[in-house]
Amino acid sequence: MAYDLAEDWRTIWDSELAGMARDRELREGVAPALAHWHAASGVRRDPAGAAGPDAASRAPALDAAPDPRDAEIARLSARIDALERKLGIDAIERKLGIDARERRLGAVGP
């Protein structure tokens, strides 16, 4: 039930945002406010045009929190690699020009 309610809420917002994006008057009315907000945020553009906050005002980025599943994923990945070596799949993939990572991600057929 909670999932259905959340899904309904998301659907409503998707519909509202899509409607707002199509509304020319709303876009034109909101654009000056967003420009002012952007100017007040301290975000600057470097000469190459990429947006980014001033380097002096930023704290260094933190590493992502460790995921408890990382060790299990690494163990399973190592096991898959060992099985593929045992079966000689890497040699077959090299002959066919297939990257094992692409195959694992589903970019290449079975």
Q: In degrees rounded to 5, what are phi and psi of residue 100? A: -60, -35
Alpha carbons 103 and 110: distance in angstroms, whole number: 7
- Widest distance between CA atoms in the chain: 64
- Residue 84 falls within a domain, yes or no? yes
| Helical segments of the chain, H only | 2-22, 24-40, 70-87, 89-96, 100-104
pLDDT in tens, 28-45: 888 888 788 877 777 665
pLDDT at 108: 47
Q: How many domains, the chain?
A: 2
Tell me what pLDDT residue 52 has. 55
Range of the domain at 8: 1-40
| Residue 13 in domain | yes
- Whether 1 is covered by a domain: the verdict is yes
Taking residue 81's Cβ as centre, other Cβ atoms within 10 Å add up to 13
Give the model's pLDDT for residue 79.
92
Is position 110 within any domain? no
99 part of a folded domain? yes
Structural domain includes residue 50? no
Whether residue 82 is contained in a domain is answered as yes
Q: Is residue 109 included in any domain, yes or no?
A: no
Question: For residue range 37-95, what is the model confidence (pLDDT) as tens digits?
Answer: 877 777 665 555 455 555 555 666 677 777 888 888 889 989 988 887 888 877 777 77
Task: Please tell me whether the overall predicted TM-score, pTM, comes out greater than 0.75 for this model.
Answer: no
